[in-house]
Homo-oligomer: A and B are copies of this chain.
């Protein structure tokens, strides 16, 4: 969560960091943030959230999320693709990064961000922390 003035609703943000200490901030919706947090903290939830359902469907259908690729940015909107495989066949789905990340935190699949997107939208980790 970002810091906001008292009384306003904070906008959830995901920070993806690479090995060069570059950070890619992605603003996401509240329900996707809740879903990501629930999975990261391994909180038990009485009923399946939407992303839990999606993962259980993929697993039940013998399909595996191989990776997520974030490789486009248009007018502040990030574009992701989810690559899944089944019996050696590969399928690709257009998705929002928020949904993609809510899935990979459950399946422990890797996330790749294109150089182009990192150059356009990433910031130094230290700069991000200090707000410089």
20 further A-B pairs in the complex, CB-CB below 8 A; given A53-B99, A60-B93: A29-B31, A30-B31, A32-B50, A46-B77, A47-B77, A48-B94, A48-B96, A50-B50, A50-B51, A50-B54, A50-B99, A53-B54, A53-B95, A53-B96, A54-B54, A54-B57, A57-B57, A61-B61, A61-B63, A61-B86
Contact of A60 among B48, B91, B96, B102 (CB under 8 A): B91
Counting every copy of the chain, the complex holds 2
Q: Does A16 contact B (CB under 8 A)?
A: no
Secondary structure class of chain A's binding surface, majority of residues: mixed
Does the CB pair A84–B57 fall under 8 Å? Answer: yes
CA distance A57 to B53 in the complex (A): 12
Chain A interface category by residue count: 20 to 34
The smallest C-beta distance from A39 to any residue of chain B, in angstroms, reads: 14
Q: Does A120 contact B (CB under 8 A)?
A: no
CA distance A16 to B102 in the complex (A): 30
Q: Does A58 contact B (CB under 8 A)?
A: yes
A53 neighbours in B (Cβ, 8 Å)? 54, 82, 93, 95-96, 99
Q: Does A56 contact B (CB under 8 A)?
A: yes
Does the CB pair B58–A57 fall under 8 Å? Answer: yes
